[in-house]
Amino acid sequence: MDLTVVGEHMRDLLAEEATLLASLEALLGQETEALRDDELPAIERIGAERHRCVDALMRIDSERRTACRLLGLGDDRPRFEELLDQCDRSVALKRLWHTGLEAAARCKDRNERNGAIVAAKLRRVEALLVTVRGGTDNVVPVYGATGQRQLPARGLALGRA
């Protein structure tokens, strides 16, 4: 296989990946703001866009792995870097790859922070539910037969239906 063609394909993949990672990073920033401001429509819209970005990034990763396997290399990170070395002696591709890894790490950090915001909001809602149901702070949610989280039933009636 012509390594020049492979190198051009890798350059295209890495450029597309860089664009997607930049979009993902921006979306995660928007998601942080939407979560803090409790903007449900924005959270849903951003979530859908985020999933599209992640799906596209997974496709690129799959293409990268497939290329390595077709060339008789393993499909892990060191083998991909070997492929980049073979395709591009100027190391420009490797620089693009490492820039992408740094962007992916930033996205991971932002995503984890957003997850922490969601978890904190969930704890707050659970505490409010315990209070509304007349419970105490030490009531632990349990799982029902369907796998849904439930708080133990209390005898407090808030109204009639």
Residue 152 falls inside a structural domain: no
For residues 111 and 149, give the distance between their C-alpha atoms in angstroms, rounded to a whole number. Answer: 24
Residue 30 falls inside a structural domain: yes
Among 72, 45, 69, 56, which residue's Cα sits nearest to residue 21?
56
Residue 156 falls inside a structural domain: no
Q: In the prediction, which pLDDT does 132 show?
A: 81
Residue 40 falls inside a structural domain: yes
Residue 46 falls inside a structural domain: yes
Overall number of domains in the chain: 1
Find the angle CA(72)-CA(78)-CA(79) to the nearest 5 degrees. 10
State the residue range of the domain holding 65.
3-113
For residues 142 and 147, give the distance between their C-alpha atoms in angstroms, rounded to a whole number. Answer: 9
Residue 148 falls inside a structural domain: no
Residue 134 falls inside a structural domain: no
Phi, psi dihedral angles at 91 (to 5 degrees): 60, 15
| Tens-digit pLDDT profile for residues 104-121 | 999 999 999 999 999 988
Residue 14 falls inside a structural domain: yes
Q: 40 near 122, Cβ under 8 Å?
A: no
| Tens-digit pLDDT profile for residues 62-105 | 999 998 888 888 888 898 998 899 888 889 999 999 999 999 99
